Chains A and B, each alone.
Chain A
Amino acid sequence: DAGVTQTPRHEVAEKGQTIILKCEPVSGHNDLFWYRQTKIQGLELLSYFRSKSLMEDGGAFKDRFKAEMLNSSFSTLKIQPTEPKDSAVYLCASSLGGSSYEQYFGPGTRLTVL
C-alpha cells in the first residue's frame, strides 16, 4: 500500500504569491490532517477533515490558509497571499478514523517564501 504522498517536496514563492500544496492520503483512510512544522512552534494543526467534512480549520490560520478535500483521495492546501513567516514544512497525515487514531504522515513540503 502506498503511504501519504505530498507534492511538491520543495516550493519557493515570492511574497504575495498564491501557492497550492497537494496531498494524497492512504487509500481507505477517512481522516485527513494538515500541519505546519517549524522549529519554534513545533507541529501546528491547520485543518482536519473527517470523511471529507471539515472538522477543524485551525483558528488563527483561517484568513490566508484554505484546505479542501476534492474527493476522498486528494486534498489541497492553498496559501493566499504568502508571507515570509509562512516559511515552514507543511505535513499532511491521514488515519482510518473512528477508534483508530494512528496518523500516517507524508514526507512534507518545504515552503520558502522570499
Chain B
Amino acid sequence: QQQVRQSSQSLTVWEGETAILNCSYENSAFDYFPWYQQFPGEGPALLIAIRSVSDKKEDGRFTIFFNKREKNLSLHIKDSQPGDSATYFCAASAYNQGKLIFGQGTKLSIKP
C-alpha cells in the first residue's frame, strides 16, 4: 500500500514554463511534507518543505501548494531551467515519527 503517491513517473516541460508535480497521501496524521531533488549519482537533497498548518510555501522559483482536506499537494517550479532536470520525491512524516515516507519519484526533464 503506497502511503505517499506521486501521480507521474515522468514529466517533460519546455524551458521557461511552470512545471507542476503532484503528490497525494493517505495518512491523516502526516503533518510534514518535504520535497527532495535528486541528480544522477547523488543522494536526494531537501528542496523545500511545508507543514500541514500552512497551505502554501514559497522559496524562490519553488512553491508548494497544500490541500489538507483533499490530502494532496503540488510542487510548482516557475520559469523552469535545464538545470532543474532531476528526479523529485514527495515525502511525508507524522509528528515525532522521525522517519519519512517517500513517494516513487517524478523524473522531470526540461527541454531547452
A residues with a Cβ closer than 8 A to B are: 4, 31, 33, 42-43, 45, 48, 50, 55-56, 91, 93, 95, 97, 99, 101-108
**Contact A102 to B34, CB < 8 A, known contacts A42-B104, A43-B89:** yes
Please report whether the interface of chain B is mostly helix, strand, loop or mixed according to DSSP: loop
B residues with a Cβ closer than 8 A to A are: 32, 34, 36, 41-46, 49, 89, 93, 96, 98-100, 102-105
A89 CA / B4 CA spacing, docked (Å): 21
B105 contact set on A, CB distance < 8 A: 42-43
**Contact A101 to B103, CB < 8 A, known contacts A48-B98, A55-B98:** no
A86 CA / B102 CA spacing, docked (Å): 20
**Contact A56 to B41, CB < 8 A, known contacts A42-B105, A101-B32, A101-B34:** no
Contact A106 B43 (CB under 8 A): yes
